Amino acid sequence: MIVFVLRFCYSFQLFLQLFYRVLLLRYYCVPTSAMMRITGHSQSLLEEHLALVEKHFPDEEPLVSYISNRGIKLKKSS
């Protein structure tokens, strides 16, 4: 039982890490093809995460707020 819980926690941690990466890459308008190279994950997995991003952060303002609340300072190049 303990092994199952540890595996679940580790899997959830990996899920969140990729989700945060996708959030940042989405904020900087990185194309999915580049996200695949940057993260090393498949297009289908990235599309699943991007669908979650679109669902929960349909506009840039809540996305920026969410990322900023995690202590990340965002700066877009002009």
Does 27 or 6 have the greater pLDDT score?
Answer: 27
Q: How long, in residues, is the chain?
A: 78
Q: Which residues of 60-75 are buried (b: 16+ CB within 10 A; e: fewer)?
A: eeebeebbeeeeeeee
Nearest to 27 by CA among 51, 71, 57: 57
Q: Supply the Cα-derived Rg of the chain in whole angstroms.
A: 14
Q: pLDDT tier at 21 (50, 70, 90 boundaries)?
A: very high
Report the pLDDT averaged over residues 46-75: 91
Report the chain's terminal Cα–Cα distance, integer Å. Answer: 52
Q: pLDDT tier at 43 (50, 70, 90 boundaries)?
A: very high
Tell me the percentage of the chain whose pLDDT exceeds 90.
62
pLDDT at 72: 86
Say if residue 24's pLDDT is above 70.
Answer: yes
